[in-house]
Amino acid sequence: MDANLIVYVVIGAVFAVGVGALALYRWYLSRKEVDVLHISDAEADLIPEQEMLARRIATVDLWGKVLTAGLVVYCLVVVSMFLYQNWQATSKIVNQ
């Protein structure tokens, strides 16, 4: 049973690395974002590029929230499995 739990922990770690990679990608995208309120005529050609970047960041934010929530739920399930296995093992020892 412990070997199965290790597999779940490794899967969770891979999941966490994915969330971290997505956070780094979001940081990389936001470096290029210009959040200036007043745009001069010379900078007006940047508007479509900034709109596209804002949509991309919004998409990454959505996936980041979904994956983070999934990771939290997954970790809660793995911890619950661990606690249940230990509880079962303890009750077997007490009943003997």
In tens, the pLDDT along 21-68 reads: 999 999 999 887 766 656 666 666 777 887 888 899 999 999 999 999
Instruction: Give the whole-angstrom CA distance, residue 35 versus residue 47.
Output: 11
pLDDT at 33: 74
pLDDT at 94: 73
Q: Please name which of 8, 26, 24, 17 lies closest in space to residue 78, comparing C-alpha atoms.
A: 8
Report the interhelical angle of 47-95 vs 2-31 (nearest 10°).
Answer: 160
pLDDT at 74: 94
The mean pLDDT of the chain is: 85
Domain that holds residue 85: 2-95
Q: What is the pTM assigned to this prediction?
A: 0.75
Q: Could you give the number of structural domains in the chain?
A: 1
3 state DSSP class of 45: helix
Please count the residues of the chain.
Answer: 96
Instruction: Give the whole-angstrom CA distance, residue 76 versus residue 53.
Output: 34
* Phi, psi angles (nearest 5°) of residue 16: -65, -40
CB 12 within 8 A of CB 71: yes
